[in-house]
Structure 1
Amino acid sequence: MRNNLISGLIFSFFLGMSWLTKADLYDATLAYQNEEFTLAFSKFSRLAQLGNADAMYNLGVMYLYGQGTEQSAANAFAWFSLAKEFGIAEAFQTAQLVLQQSNDQSGLKDFLKLQKSRLSNTYLLDSTLTKLKQHSTTPTLSKTHDVLPEYPDEAVRQGIEGWVWLEFDIDQSGKATNIEVIDSYPRHVFTASLLNAVEKWRYTGSKQAHTLIYHFATHKDEQYRETLAIQKKAYEKQLRQNIDAAERGVAQVQYYIANWLSMKEYNAYQLLRYHWRSDEPMNELYLAAAKNGLDLAQYRLATQLINAGAHQLGVLWLEHAAQTMDIAKYRLATVLLNTGEPQDVPHALQVLIEASNNGHLRATLLLVNTYLTRLSDKAQAKAWLRHGLIIDPEHPELLLLLARLAENQAEAKKLASQALKSASQRNWSSHAIHLFLQKLAN
């Protein structure tokens, strides 16, 4: 009788999962429905480590029936209990039914304590929204020269809105260097326009890993205002489709909507805000997508938390994003190296090497500087310099570093001259190169 009751609870709950947490459970759920239990178990396990309560509940189901893993009442009880603690009230009754059927109730309770200790980082991840509310973000850098990006004519004509997310360094002249496109929506529509503008910007002071998310909203152009009334019906239809997708649990759409909710000037904002009325809909949606394994959302939360001073929590999200994103590997290594703890250096080197082997230039630069300044290993530094110059043969910083490692003055001068020429062509600061050349002349 109890087994039938448990089965009924499982299926009724599975059909009514909260849209905020089921998004990328889709693949795992599909694998489960196709009886690919080993694959489903693996996917649920990873999502559970991210604090996904639905994945925890489903792990309880699989342990209860021995699907994709050995049957275990202790694990079933533990995961049902954890699902309840992470927000699924219905899981408590299921856990109690498992407990009542056990001949070793104290053993199950002891095992639950062990599992909770193993999920200490997951409990911390679940405090993300609280930490974001507690901490204020750091002020953005000020510009000494600014140019508005041009809104592409075709985007204006079609009423397309979107954003571009960049990260870059800032050199001594205040210019953005080593620019990376982290994300853009729609793909390739606004990226060139923003890059052209950023090329002309100048900032006060230098700063590594500066994040910029620039939003393109059609209110900035009067031409679209004239056609907005005509396009409004089709526009609202598209938004309704996106709302439906988010509620069905599509993590990518949750992430998109979070970005739209971050900008009141979007034409989409009011309609979306009417649907998501909570105090923190943007961060709630980022967190939902992050818990469902979307690396962009994980990295977005990580950068917000680190910039806001919630260092430990930001690093945990970085660790997850770094499994698939080279920029996250780079940022994680930067944070680890800045702690000053010797035990963090091997981990930092590992992720930098992974990113560098994938062609990530900033990771290669950091790797070279780490071998030079922290480890005094010129052989490794030179090897990774050569690797970096395969990625960008005329990169001024790489050429200058290679000049510093040159075996004779003539070679050093030649490389430094190449660095100076390249810096001039890119309008990068040449201050460090001039100092090096002056030192050679003396």
Structure 2
Amino acid sequence: MKNMRKNLIAVLAIALPFQAASLNLLKANDDFKDKQYDLAFQEYKQGAQVGNSHAYYQLGVMYSKGLGVEPDLVNSILYFSLAAEQNYSQANEILDLMLSNLDTNQLTEVHALLDEFKQNQDVFTQQFMPEIIEENLAHKVTFDGKPELEKKFFIDLDEEELGISPYGGSGNSVGEGGVESFGGIIISKPALLIVETDVASDGSKRNIQKLQKHGLTRGYLDKYKLFPTAKPQFKGKPVDFVTRSYMGVAADDAFAFVDQQPRLYGDIRKIVRAAEKSDTLEEKYQHAIAMTMFPWLEKQPNQAENLMKNLALRGHPAAMYEYGFMLYTKQKDIPEAVKWITEASKYGLARAEYRLGKLLTSSPWVQSDEKKALFWFESAMEKGHDAATLYAAKIKLTSQDPTLKDVAGAIEYLALAEKPQRLNPEYFHLLALSYKDRPARDFKLVIDNLERAIWMGNQANWDTSEWQDLLSQFTTGKVTIADS
């Protein structure tokens, strides 16, 4: 115990640089189970830097038992104390037992070190955490004057889009995607599609992520993209939002669902029955997800929300995100919503990290902070989240903060995003800006890519007036465009 302060200084010196560090505590848990303690230790350290209670607890265990690191009683006490502050698992009981073995002088020194450690940890953690704009909590986002967006989309598709086309041959068979061949005619049963969508201030749908699909959904998605939603506004000004939308049989009631997709309905009922008999977090989560997607499964009001909250409290990262997302989109309790999305992000859940980055750049209730947003976007990007890659590039290209401006880094990110984002107008807008700002400027490619972004945006019913103004600036006056 003589080296307590020396050890504390060593702990505080191990600070995570404010740059891309792909948080992944789910992988850390797998590494820990596989006894890959060195890997798990480094991943838990990253989780601890952003204030994750599970990472605190695991580091306390590892320092206590010397797993992947030299045994260190001081560090073990420090991390168990941080976990205990968040009432994580048995941290309080373990900490009390460890402190009970110290004498009075040691206790006095330990408590002094704990206070200093916690203060330093809090200061560091706040570099990543969102700040709520308290005065805005009294106001809500409206959608062309209405309190919420329509979530169900009933889209009529013609026979070709449904996959109905003449085929030679005869006989009956069932092929991929629920497509049934009957007497030489291909007949697609109604498909199911559930998506999470960023809603821009002009009402256009962007960064659409498929959450659940069954059958042939391309026709649904193609038409869904073309129809803007009501425009979100906050205190009379345009603002971004997020929503989930249900198409095909996902928009139907239970009776229509059973009629159109009896096999899928049976599979869903099996999940629900298994979850009702089980107490494992994952099966309970599957039950909650099923009720979230198909409200007609609920036996009690708000059953899905209540179960998701319970699972979040029990430490299920995906449930943390889902519960936070529910609260946010319902505008029910914004601070609680942001808290749970943040908690899920601390585990390294890519979709939560992306959403937190978006909140930090476009939410009317969260203080805008590109530096924090870039950290979360880059962490999601490291796990292959395409939209996060694009937004990280956008910050590096357009930020007014000189410490974040990084054209070379943006070009690298755009190269990663090229294939998955080739149908996204925003990609070509950013590519145009990169050709304007890179050392080997190519003004022809600036114009070509900007014109392509505008054309694609118009096709998708985006408001491209800002890009058109930019194009006008680039092409008005004494401008010479030549091939390089």
Mapped partners of 2:144, 2:394: distance in 1 = 20
Mapped partners of 2:461, 2:106: distance in 1 = 72
Deviation at 1:163, TM superposition (A): 1.6
Q: 1:353 is matched with which residue?
A: 411
Alignment of 1:93-242 (within 5 A): 93-101=93-101, 104-112=106-114, 113-120=116-123, 122=125, 134=137, 138-140=141-143, 148-150=154-156, 161-167=192-198, 176=204, 179-186=206-213, 190=217, 192-201=219-228, 211-216=242-247, 218=249, 220-221=251-252, 224-225=256-257, 227=259, 234-241=267-274
Code of the aligned partner of 2:303: Y
Alignment of 1:10-29 (within 5 A): 27-29=27-29
Q: Choose 359-368 or 37-46, whichever is displaced more.
A: 359-368
Unaligned stretches of 5+ in structure 1?
1-23, 387-396, 402-415
Mapped partners of 1:83, 1:439: distance in 2 = 60
Relative to structure 1, the CA distance from residue 197 to residue 226 in structure 2 (aligned partners, 3 Å threshold; closer, same or farther) is same
Mapped partners of 2:251, 2:155: distance in 1 = 11
Relative to structure 1, the CA distance from residue 187 to residue 320 in structure 2 (aligned partners, 3 Å threshold; closer, same or farther) is farther
Mapped partners of 1:190, 1:94: distance in 2 = 52
Code of the aligned partner of 1:149: I
> Does the CA-based 8 Å contact 1:155-1:161 persist in structure 2?
no
Kindly indicate whether residue 308 of structure 2 is the aligned counterpart of residue 274 of structure 1.
Answer: no
Code of the aligned partner of 1:267: W
* DSSP-derived class of the 2:404 partner: helix
Relative to structure 1, the CA distance from residue 419 to residue 140 in structure 2 (aligned partners, 3 Å threshold; closer, same or farther) is closer
Mapped partners of 1:32, 1:441: distance in 2 = 63
> Does the CA-based 8 Å contact 1:141-1:204 persist in structure 2?
yes
Q: 1:291 is matched with which residue?
A: 346
Mapped partners of 1:242, 1:72: distance in 2 = 42
Relative to structure 1, the CA distance from residue 221 to residue 236 in structure 2 (aligned partners, 3 Å threshold; closer, same or farther) is closer
Mapped partners of 1:182, 1:30: distance in 2 = 27
Code of the aligned partner of 1:227: D
Task: Give TM-score, length-normalised by structure 2.
Answer: 0.58
Deviation at 1:295, TM superposition (A): 0.7
Alignment of 1:283-432 (within 5 A): 283=324, 286=341, 289-304=344-359, 306-311=362-367, 316=372, 319-323=375-379, 324=381, 325-332=385-392, 334=394, 340-346=400-406, 349=407, 352-360=410-418, 362=426, 365-366=429-430, 368-369=432-433, 372=436, 377=437, 379-382=439-442, 399=448, 401=450, 432=468
> Does the CA-based 8 Å contact 1:137-1:304 persist in structure 2?
no
Deviation at 1:64, TM superposition (A): 1.2
Deviation at 1:166, TM superposition (A): 3.7
Relative to structure 1, the CA distance from residue 111 to residue 370 in structure 2 (aligned partners, 3 Å threshold; closer, same or farther) is farther
Give 2:281's match in structure 1, choosing from 248, 255, 258. 248
Code of the aligned partner of 1:214: S
Q: Choose 146-155 or 361-370, whichever is displaced more.
A: 146-155
Alignment of 1:55-66 (within 5 A): 55-66=55-66
Deviation at 1:91, TM superposition (A): 1.2
* DSSP-derived class of the 2:196 partner: strand
**Which digits, 9 at most, give the CA deviation of each residue in 1:17-75, with x for residues without a partner?**
xxxxxxx8554344323322112212322333444322211110101122111222221
Deviation at 1:233, TM superposition (A): 5.8
Deviation at 1:86, TM superposition (A): 1.7
Kindly indicate whether residue 90 of structure 2 is the aligned counterpart of residue 90 of structure 1.
Answer: yes
Code of the aligned partner of 1:61: V
Mapped partners of 2:459, 2:416: distance in 1 = 26
Code of the aligned partner of 1:235: I
Mapped partners of 2:345, 2:75: distance in 1 = 25
> Does the CA-based 8 Å contact 2:228-2:461 persist in structure 1?
no
Code of the aligned partner of 1:342: P
Mapped partners of 2:374, 2:474: distance in 1 = 39
Q: 1:46 is matched with which residue?
A: 46
Mapped partners of 1:309, 1:66: distance in 2 = 44
CA RMSD across the alignment: 5.4
Report how many residues are paired. 377
Code of the aligned partner of 2:349: L
Mapped partners of 2:272, 2:212: distance in 1 = 15
